Amino acid sequence: MLRGLLIKNIRCLVQTEDVPKLKVCGKEMSELRTVENAWLYIRDGLIKDFGEMSRIRSGETKFNSSEAEIIDATGRFVFPSFCDSHTHIVYAGSREIEYSDKIRGLSYAEIARRGGGIINSAKKLHETSENELFAQSLTRINEIIGFGTGAVEIKSGYGLNLEDELKMLRVIRRIKGSSPLEVKATFLGAHALPPEYKGRKERFVDLIINEMIPVIASEDLAEFIDVFCDDGFFSIEDTERILMAGMKYGLTPKLHANELGFSGGIQVGVKYNALSVDHLECTGDDEIESLLGTETMPTLLPGSAFFLGLPDPPARKMINAGLPVALASDYNPGSSPSGNMKLIMSLGCIKLRMLPEEVINAVTINSACAMGLSGSHGSIARGKVANVFITKEIPSYEFMPYAFGSNLIETVILKGKIYPPTPLKGG
């Protein structure tokens, strides 16, 4: 008989919900529900129940070790796993050469104009076999699991032609099949203009619409469609054409918007009911107004603003206006070579002036919502997938973003199982 998993004597169980919500907005973002001195019972990969240790009725069968494997979490906190709703984790090699150029003073746009940036990654990806790309990506996947991530969105976009985009999307599918993470795939055909299409951007957009989208949809390789809608990359018109074509094939829009300029990307995302608009360094009153009352999740990527030295997006203004905010890592080789969501929380606090409660909501329930997953992930709620992590001994939940350089995650549980699984003895 399959035994359950009981975590008992938890100093504090964080982000609990009795009535699950899809997201939290505005003032609500500073509220965080917790249960102190708690237990959490997991069975069949799901959260079955939780409560206070003092309320255990004597003789309850789940507290009997033949019914459940028991973890004693004395002094430790339990959080729902992080949801990272924006990554480019499937890529080949790395771009630390550009890092030095950046330190010497070149901007992201200047590096891209010199053939660096996304084009550089596309070249490397072209020269890398699917198996090798899978192996490199899996190393990063295992790294983020150790950092506490339980659900991740992964974009294509370093292919820039059908064959290489398919290679990326197939690698994402293999990750889905072989990792305990919950994975969502996004087709980002319009990430950069390949050099051979210089001066012929419409033709490249035609290629995405007429050749790439139909094949990707017929192989069921993506659930979302993204465009880098920004100054110097793809225009509002390009974006609208691509989103309409993707939506015809059942792909849901998610956008890169307003990173490099007031591009109108936020408004176009809202117009097409995008699940999220991401980056948003250039956000003013009109953009905030357009997002209010919509289902589009504003998603900020403080790792890339930090790494590129961009002005920070106005998180406080957005939250004060009543908007929800999600935070994600943007893990990629050019603008955010880190998938450490605990560090993202710290940047949210330090750079974006978000409160610890707000950043915890932003990396759990709101970032789950930005992937369409908040019904099953992003909080400790009965019936949700049992993706949680147990911390080391810490004094408070605020300590997580506060101790910005420390690894405080001790045990990772994904789909109800401790990860990595302990090898069988004597086998």
Helices (H) and strands (E) in the chain, counts: 16, 16
Q: For residue 352, which amino acid is it?
A: L
Q: Kindly tell me the burial class for residue 396, based on how many C-beta atoms sit within 10 Å of its own C-beta (0-12, 13-18, 19 or more).
A: exposed
Contact code string over 263-302 relative to ligand NIG, x by CB under 6 A:
----------------------------------------
Cβ 299 to Fe ion shortest distance, Å:
10
Taking CB under 5 A as the rule, does residue 153 contact Fe ion? Answer: no
Closer residue to ligand NIG (CB): 41 or 234: 234
The single residue among 153, 165, 259, 287 that binds ligand NIG, judged by CB under 6 A, is 259
> Distance between CA atoms of 376 and 388, rounded to whole angstroms?
13
The single residue among 98, 281, 330, 357 that binds Fe ion, judged by CB under 5 A, is 330
Stretch touching ligand NIG by CB under 6 A, among 114-122, 246-254, 269-277, 315-323: 114-122
Stretch touching Fe ion by CB under 5 A, among 107-115, 121-129, 328-336, 382-390: 328-336
344: its two tokens: 């993202």
| 331-390 binders of ligand NIG (CB under 6 A) | 332-335
Region of residue 16 (left: phi > 0; alpha: psi -120 to 50; beta: else): beta
Taking CB under 6 A as the rule, does residue 256 contact ligand NIG? Answer: yes
Taking CB under 6 A as the rule, does residue 329 contact ligand NIG? Answer: no
Contact code string over 206-245 relative to ligand NIG, x by CB under 6 A:
----------------------x-----------------
Angle subtended by helix axes 117-126 and 162-178, to nearest 10: 80
> Distance between CA atoms of 380 and 390, rounded to whole angstroms?
13
User: Within 10 Å of residue 210's Cβ, how many Cβ atoms?
Assistant: 10
Measured between its terminal Cα atoms, the distance across the chain in Å is: 21
Cβ 329 to ligand NIG shortest distance, Å:
10
Q: Kindly tell me the burial class for residue 392, based on how many C-beta atoms sit within 10 Å of its own C-beta (0-12, 13-18, 19 or more).
A: middle
Distance of CA 158 to the CA centre of its chain: 18
Closer residue to ligand NIG (CB): 187 or 228: 228
User: Within 10 Å of residue 88's Cβ, how many Cβ atoms?
Assistant: 25
Q: Which residues bind ligand NIG (CB under 6 A)?
A: 88, 117-118, 121, 228, 256, 259, 304, 330, 332-335
